[in-house]
Amino acid sequence: MSTPSSDEAIIARVVTHMNNDHHDSIHDYAQYFARLPAPLASTATLSTLTLSKLTLTVTSSHGAQSTVNIPLSPPMASFSESRERLIAMAIEAMEGLGRSRYKVRRWVPPGLFGSIVCAAVAFGYWSFYYGEVQFAKGGFVRE
């Protein structure tokens, strides 16, 4: 069992980490679990967490702040479970909102061989899409 001072340190570290590095997950929590509209959910920040709930602070367009509690079911046995629980909740929220949990961060264009293959496939689709260009013994002919 952990001591209260170590629990407070874990809570502070988790809250700071989530607010700094995973604000998109916090917005998803607010939108999916608390059923907040997207503009309001985008202002959510994690205030604190306990073994049984997450507490989010949201700011309205008028500047009024309110708290939203998201229950953890089942409650965590200790704060050492917080990482796994928050990741599972983030995945559940993303899938519940119809988003993929994978993000494309950069796209690498194909090299020479890939470009040739893409061009050949595009030419094949083009040649069969247009009925005026057909295969014949002499090659491509127009009718």
pLDDT value of position 141: 57
pTM for the structure as a whole: 0.70
Instruction: State the Cα–Cα distance between residues 25 and 45, nearest whole angstrom.
Output: 10
- pLDDT tens-place string over residues 74-115: 999 999 899 999 999 999 999 999 998 888 889 898 899 999
pLDDT of 118 strictly over 80: yes
Q: Are 14 and 49 in contact (CB under 8 A)?
A: yes
Distance of CA 38 to the CA centre of its chain: 14
Confidence of residue 134 (pLDDT cuts 50, 70, 90): low
Is 132 or 106 the better-scoring residue by pLDDT? Answer: 106
Q: What is the mean pLDDT of residues 25-46?
A: 95
Res. 133: pLDDT tops 60: no
**Spatial separation of the C-alpha atoms in residues 42 and 29, rounded to whole Å:** 10
* Helix ranges (DSSP H) in 58-111: 82-96
